Amino acid sequence: MRMVESWVFTDSAVPASAATALDVLQERIAAGHLETWLTSSRGRSLAVISNTDRAMVMLLDDEADPGEHALSPGASSSSSGFLLANGQHDEYPDEDTVPLAEAMRIVSHILTTGAPPTDAPWAIDR
């Protein structure tokens, strides 16, 4: 029997179903909280770091794991404005981020199935 993985927002321990997580993520981004972490019942972490247009979506097995992340293959520029909770401002190549709508689709799929959508380009950083 397969154990169902559940997720919570790391900074509040609020349960995160796929539907509620997207609403909370959109509210957080609109309010300027551009870094969000979720933790699963299996100890995995899911990060969404946005600049309001694009997002870095990362999935990590544990704290020491370099993880994996969503890609936009062929994107050739970079974007700034990724504000971390510690005040750090990051800039990422667009190839390593995805448009915000795509990030929401990927997050929903991970929260529902435990894995990124098979049609979403993905980099393994391990």
User: Could you give the CA distance from residue 56 to residue 98 in angstroms, rounded to a whole number?
Assistant: 7
Q: Per-residue pLDDT for 1 more than 60?
A: no
**What confidence tens digit (pLDDT) does each residue in 42-97 have?**
999 999 999 999 999 999 999 889 999 999 999 999 999 999 999 999 999 999 99
Mean pLDDT of 94-116: 96
pLDDT tens-digit profile of 18-39? 888 999 999 999 999 999 999 9
Q: Report CA-CA distances (Å) from 3 to 46, 110, 117.
A: 18, 15, 20
Please enumerate in sequence order all residues whose Cβ is within 8 A of that of 52, keeping only pairs 6 or more positions apart, or say none.
Answer: 29, 34, 81, 100
Using the predicted structure, report yes or no on whether residue 3 has a pLDDT greater than 80: no
Distance CA 100, CA 16 (A): 18
Residue 124 has pLDDT above 80, yes or no: yes
pTM: 0.92
Q: Give yes or no for residue 114 having a pLDDT over 80.
A: yes
